[in-house]
Amino acid sequence: MVRVTIVVREVGRLKPDYSLGFDLPEVPGIGDYLSIHRPDKPDPFGEDLIVRKVWWRLDHPETNGFASSDERIGSVREIFVECDVALGPYSSDDWRRLAEGAKSRGLEIEEFEIARLSLRESDLK
Protein backbone atom coordinates (compact mmCIF):
# COMPACT_ATOMS: atom_id res chain seq x y z
CA MET A 1 0.00 0.00 0.00
CA VAL A 2 1.10 3.53 -0.67
CA ARG A 3 0.01 6.52 1.39
CA VAL A 4 -1.27 9.50 -0.60
CA THR A 5 -2.94 12.79 0.20
CA ILE A 6 -5.94 13.49 -2.01
CA VAL A 7 -6.14 17.26 -2.50
CA VAL A 8 -9.51 18.58 -3.69
CA ARG A 9 -9.19 21.92 -5.46
CA GLU A 10 -11.68 24.74 -5.14
CA VAL A 11 -14.04 24.63 -8.11
CA GLY A 12 -12.50 26.49 -11.05
CA ARG A 13 -9.23 27.23 -9.21
CA LEU A 14 -5.90 25.60 -8.41
CA LYS A 15 -6.21 26.51 -4.73
CA PRO A 16 -6.75 23.51 -2.42
CA ASP A 17 -10.16 23.33 -0.76
CA TYR A 18 -9.44 20.34 1.50
CA SER A 19 -7.35 17.18 1.65
CA LEU A 20 -7.78 13.62 2.91
CA GLY A 21 -5.19 10.90 3.53
CA PHE A 22 -5.56 7.41 2.06
CA ASP A 23 -3.62 4.14 1.90
CA LEU A 24 -4.10 2.87 -1.68
CA PRO A 25 -2.81 -0.14 -3.64
CA GLU A 26 -1.23 2.26 -6.17
CA VAL A 27 -0.94 5.96 -6.93
CA PRO A 28 -3.89 7.20 -9.02
CA GLY A 29 -2.91 8.55 -12.43
CA ILE A 30 -3.87 11.71 -14.26
CA GLY A 31 -7.40 11.35 -15.62
CA ASP A 32 -8.42 8.65 -13.13
CA TYR A 33 -11.84 8.88 -11.51
CA LEU A 34 -12.04 8.82 -7.72
CA SER A 35 -15.20 8.47 -5.65
CA ILE A 36 -15.01 9.12 -1.93
CA HIS A 37 -17.74 7.76 0.31
CA ARG A 38 -18.09 9.14 3.82
CA PRO A 39 -20.19 7.79 6.70
CA ASP A 40 -22.64 10.72 6.62
CA LYS A 41 -23.96 9.68 3.17
CA PRO A 42 -25.86 6.53 2.23
CA ASP A 43 -23.82 4.01 0.26
CA PRO A 44 -22.80 4.41 -2.63
CA PHE A 45 -23.14 8.23 -2.72
CA GLY A 46 -20.30 10.65 -2.15
CA GLU A 47 -17.77 12.99 -3.71
CA ASP A 48 -16.57 12.40 -7.26
CA LEU A 49 -13.21 13.66 -8.48
CA ILE A 50 -10.91 13.56 -11.49
CA VAL A 51 -7.14 13.40 -10.93
CA ARG A 52 -5.35 16.36 -12.55
CA LYS A 53 -1.80 16.28 -11.15
CA VAL A 54 0.37 13.99 -9.04
CA TRP A 55 3.10 15.65 -7.00
CA TRP A 56 5.82 13.41 -5.60
CA ARG A 57 7.91 14.93 -2.79
CA LEU A 58 11.17 13.03 -2.45
CA ASP A 59 14.09 12.99 -0.01
CA HIS A 60 17.65 12.16 -1.01
CA PRO A 61 20.70 11.87 1.27
CA GLU A 62 23.14 13.02 -1.44
CA THR A 63 24.13 16.70 -1.18
CA ASN A 64 26.17 16.87 -4.40
CA GLY A 65 24.73 17.34 -7.87
CA PHE A 66 25.75 13.80 -8.76
CA ALA A 67 25.85 10.46 -6.99
CA SER A 68 29.00 9.53 -5.10
CA SER A 69 30.71 6.17 -5.60
CA ASP A 70 28.65 4.87 -2.67
CA GLU A 71 25.22 4.78 -4.20
CA ARG A 72 22.74 6.24 -1.77
CA ILE A 73 19.03 5.78 -2.33
CA GLY A 74 16.35 8.37 -1.68
CA SER A 75 12.81 7.82 -0.49
CA VAL A 76 9.30 9.16 -0.87
CA ARG A 77 8.40 11.91 1.58
CA GLU A 78 4.79 12.36 0.48
CA ILE A 79 2.56 12.10 -2.57
CA PHE A 80 -0.15 14.63 -3.35
CA VAL A 81 -2.90 13.68 -5.80
CA GLU A 82 -4.58 16.91 -6.92
CA CYS A 83 -8.17 16.54 -8.08
CA ASP A 84 -10.99 18.60 -9.55
CA VAL A 85 -14.64 18.29 -8.60
CA ALA A 86 -16.54 16.09 -11.06
CA LEU A 87 -19.97 14.54 -11.47
CA GLY A 88 -20.34 10.77 -11.42
CA PRO A 89 -23.27 8.38 -11.31
CA TYR A 90 -23.21 8.27 -7.50
CA SER A 91 -22.51 11.92 -6.70
CA SER A 92 -24.34 12.81 -3.49
CA ASP A 93 -27.11 15.41 -3.68
CA ASP A 94 -24.90 17.93 -1.86
CA TRP A 95 -22.00 17.25 -4.23
CA ARG A 96 -24.28 17.50 -7.25
CA ARG A 97 -25.62 20.87 -6.00
CA LEU A 98 -22.04 22.16 -5.58
CA ALA A 99 -21.07 21.04 -9.10
CA GLU A 100 -24.27 22.20 -10.80
CA GLY A 101 -24.02 25.57 -9.03
CA ALA A 102 -20.52 25.99 -10.43
CA LYS A 103 -21.74 25.02 -13.91
CA SER A 104 -24.50 27.63 -13.70
CA ARG A 105 -21.78 30.25 -13.01
CA GLY A 106 -20.02 29.23 -16.22
CA LEU A 107 -17.37 26.99 -14.66
CA GLU A 108 -16.50 23.71 -16.32
CA ILE A 109 -17.35 20.58 -14.34
CA GLU A 110 -16.37 17.35 -16.02
CA GLU A 111 -18.66 14.32 -15.89
CA PHE A 112 -17.44 10.75 -15.67
CA GLU A 113 -17.49 9.17 -19.13
CA ILE A 114 -19.07 5.88 -18.17
CA ALA A 115 -22.17 4.00 -19.26
CA ARG A 116 -23.91 3.35 -15.98
CA LEU A 117 -27.25 4.13 -14.47
CA SER A 118 -27.06 7.42 -12.60
CA LEU A 119 -29.03 7.44 -9.37
CA ARG A 120 -29.87 10.41 -7.22
CA GLU A 121 -29.45 10.08 -3.49
CA SER A 122 -32.82 11.81 -2.97
CA ASP A 123 -34.57 9.19 -5.16
CA LEU A 124 -33.78 6.53 -2.56
CA LYS A 125 -35.20 8.38 0.43
Domain boundaries, the chain: 2-66+74-124
What is the identity of the amino acid at 89?
P
The pLDDT of residue 70: 79
Alpha-carbon distance 33 to 73, whole Å? Answer: 32
pLDDT tens for residues 13-25?
999 999 999 999 9
Does this model's pTM top 0.95? My answer is no
| Angle, CA 123 vertex, CA 122 and CA 125 arms, to 5° | 65
Is the pLDDT reported for residue 66 higher than 90? no
Which residues 6+ apart lie within 8 Å of 33 measured at CB? 48, 49, 50, 51, 86, 88, 112, 114
The pLDDT of residue 30: 98
- Residue 27: CB atoms within 10 A of its CB come to 15
